[in-house]
Amino acid sequence: MVIACQNAAFGYEGNTAVSGLNFTVNSGDYLCVVGENGSGKSTLIKGLLRLKRPQSGSVLTGDGLLPAEIGYLPQQTAAQKDFPASAHEVVLSGRMGARGIAPFYSRRDKSVVDENLRLLGIESLRNRCYRELSGGQQQRVLLARALVATKKLLLLDEPTAGLDPTATADFYELIAKLNRGGLTVIIVSHDITSAVKYASHILHLRKKQLFFGTTADYLNSETGKLFVGGAYSD
Amino acid sequence: MIDLLLEMFSYMFLVRAVVVGLLVSLCAALLGVSLVLKRYSMMGDGLSHVGFGTLAIATAMNAAPLTVSIPIVVAAAFLLLRISENSKIKGDAAIALISTSSLAIGVVVISLTTGMNTDVCNYLFGSILAMSKSDVNLSIALAAVVLALFLLFYNKIFAVTFDENFAKATGVKTGLYNMIIAFLTAITIVLGMRMMGSLLISSLTIFPALTSMRVCKKFKTVTVCSAFVSVICFFIGVVISYVYATPTGASVVIVNIVAFLLFWATNLTIGRIKK
């Protein structure tokens, strides 16, 4: 078990956004969290990252995973779109959490960054300005930043929002490759087609947990049939 | 030109003012990059209005202005930070609320004590004569602290500026670093306020950052460039203010406007050539 929820509920200022969460993610799993807008997906992400405390129940981590060891790929904010920073500066900032109080990056931090830029095939973007990259390139830079932060668990929040179909497909292939390399992946997405294509497990939310299990079971379940069939598509 | 500078710097008060002014413009420019990118540009403005209120109170109490202003403005900075993070009153509204309140309190305190005179004008628009000898020593010490802390926390400041949520999720103490940014901003504003004027001091944080963002592509180059832009603009502004007897704060801002337009035009031209 890498991370798990036991009867967890999360919400804002007394309102519960999502409740009844019971699921376990094991090492090497690829979990896709699906559900409509407002179903509690983003709130769950905040809970898993410990940015938000559960209102009830608990979030457990195992396999020696510290809460700060989750690589996170957040949705982009408007402020980032025109941020003057080189790709290298952005990726390097992923090492900050591991630095603790130490003020400057070590040579090792820089070599980890170079390694991951190579892994994702974006060495050529190293000195380019982040705001001048295409959407797909920006996502790869943010992915590299998440990977230099940790190699244990990767949490992605709507990573393909705003990408064109080719860039989306490339990005999913990249994540699948990393997953085959042993990285545990949790991805939040609208994109049910890609979810069932790549994920090993599905968690379906609508204010509460509608389904959790393997992708094969999901496709045979009532919830899965309805959702994948397009009845809920948005 | 050399003669003019020699003449200027034969006045001790001008030397003091320029030394403090250069240090303050340097600090303001460095912090300004983060403030502008974090969408906190109005914070400096709000804090300088709080500073006006505290100056008025300090004068009424016959106390040393810096010793009264610094703790209150720092407290106001933390308050603004907390409000913009958690409260239902959004950040910009909170800043407007606090800045107009302190302005009003300051004006009432002044009119009850000394009455509305040239002092008020100096508080609002700045005066090069504002710096006494003891002020200068304190200002230099504080500016050195601000610079040292900024350099020490440069990487953390980048991390919380670019993506606070990510930084927090990976274990960076973002609350602490936001407080450090707010603290350093408050000190810088108070130090520069009497020379630049409480209505104009926030321009020192905003202009150099925006100016260098026209041309620079990296956070580091933006930071270094805005430090240079700010220091050079301040110096030219002071010389202009000496030669034409214009108010110092306003002259510095005018030079900053010109620098901004120049960088903007440069960027447009570079863009054209590339196409």
Q: What is the pLDDT of residues A17-26, one digit of tens each?
A: 888 888 889 8
* B49-107 pLDDT tens trace: 999 999 888 888 888 888 888 999 999 999 888 877 765 666 677 788 888 999 999 88
Kindly determine whether residue B155 and residue A51, on different chains, have CB atoms separated by under 8 Å: no
Give the pLDDT band of residue B157 (cuts 50, 70, 90). very high
Q: Note whether A67 contacts B: Cβ–Cβ < 8 A.
A: yes
Specify the range with the lowest mean pLDDT, choosing from A94-103, B201-210, B226-235, B263-272: A94-103
Contacting residues for A204 by C-beta, under 8 A, at least 6 apart:
A33, A34, A35, A210, A211, A212, A218, A223, A224, A227
pLDDT tens per residue, range B102-134 = 999 988 988 888 776 767 788 888 887 777 787
Q: Check A89 against B163: CB less than 8 A apart.
A: no
The pLDDT value recorded for residue B213 is: 92
CATH code linked to domain A29-39+48-54+67-228: 3.40.50.300
DSSP code of A86?
Answer: B
Is the pLDDT reported for residue B225 higher than 50?
Answer: yes
Contacts of A83 in chain B (CB under 8 A): 37, 162, 219
> What DSSP line would sit under A126-162, residue for residue?
TTSBGGGS-HHHHHHHHHHHHHHH-SSEEEEESTTTT
Taking alpha carbons only, the member of A171, A156, A167, A92 closest to residue A134 is A167
Q: Which of A76-80, A194-198, B117-121, B251-255 holds the top average pLDDT? A: B251-255
What pLDDT, on the 0 to 100 scale, is given for residue A233?
43
Antiparallel, parallel or unpaired: β A208-214 and A56-61: unpaired
A70:B169 CB<8 A: yes
The position carrying tokens 């900032």 is A93
Per-residue burial over B220-250, b = 16 or more CB atoms within 10 Å of its CB, e = otherwise: ebbbbbbbebbbbbbbbbbbbbbeeeebbbb
- Which residue range is the domain that position B66 belongs to? 2-274
Tell me which of B36, B163, B215 to substitute to probe the interface with A (most A C-beta atoms closer than 10 Å). B163
Task: Inform me whether the C-beta atom of residue A94 falls under 8 Å from chain B C-beta atoms.
Answer: yes
Q: What is the pLDDT of residue A145?
A: 92
Residue linked to tokens 């670093």? B177
Q: Which residues of B touch A98 (CB under 8 A)?
A: 170-171
Q: Three-state secondary structure along B132-177?
A: CHHHHHHHHHHHHHHHHHHHHCHHHHHHHHHCHHHHHHCCCCHHHH
**What are the extents of the domains in chain A?**
29-39+48-54+67-228
| Residue A187, both tokens | 């991805």
What is the CATH classification number for the domain harbouring B54?
Answer: 1.10.3470.10
Residue A76's pLDDT is 80
CB A37 within 8 A of CB A24: no
Give pLDDT, residue A67.
67
Tell me how far apart the alpha carbons of residues B150 and A99 are, in angstroms, rounded to a whole number. Answer: 17
d(CA B158, CA B168): 13
**A-chain residues within 8 Å CB-CB of B219?**
83-86, 89
Give the distance from residue B178's alpha carbon to the nearest chain A alpha carbon, in angstroms: 15
Q: Which of A80, A84, A96 has its CB closest to that of B222?
A: A84
The rounded percent of chain A whose pLDDT value lies above 70 is 97
Bridge-partner residues for A184, per DSSP? Answer: A153
Nearest to A72, CA basis, from A150, A137, A178: A150
- Give the count of alpha carbons within 13 A of B68, CB side only: 16
**Geometric angle at alpha carbon A120, from A114 and A123, rounded to 5°:** 45
Report the amino acid identity of residue B157.
I
Q: Which residues of A touch B156 (CB under 8 A)?
A: 96, 103
Indicate yes or no: CB of B155 within 8 angstroms of CB of A96: yes
Q: Residues A104-146: pLDDT tens digits?
A: 888 988 988 998 898 888 889 989 999 888 888 898 899 999 9
Of B153, B159, B163, the CB nearest to A74: B163
| Band of pLDDT at residue A230, cut at 50, 70 and 90 | low
A97 contacts in chain B (CB < 8 Å): 167, 170-172
**Cβ B233 vs Cβ B205: under 8 Å:** no
Residue B129 CB neighbour total at 10 angstroms: 14
Contact B187, B67 (CB under 8 A): no
Chain B residues touching A125 at Cβ < 8 A = none
Task: Domain count for chain B, please give it.
Answer: 1
Cα distance between residue B275 and residue B269, in whole Å: 10
Interface of A with B in 186-205 (CB under 8 A): none
For A44-84, the pLDDT digits (tens) are 888 888 888 888 888 888 877 776 778 888 888 777 877 89
Strand partners, A21: A8
Burial class (CB in 10 A: 0-12, 13-18, 19+), A160: buried
A20 dihedral zone (left: phi>0; alpha: psi -120 to 50; beta)? left
Question: Residue A110 in contact with residue A191, Cβ under 8 Å?
Answer: no
Q: Do A103 and B155 touch (CB under 8 A)?
A: yes
- Would you call A75 an interface residue with chain B, using a CB distance cutoff of 8 Å? no
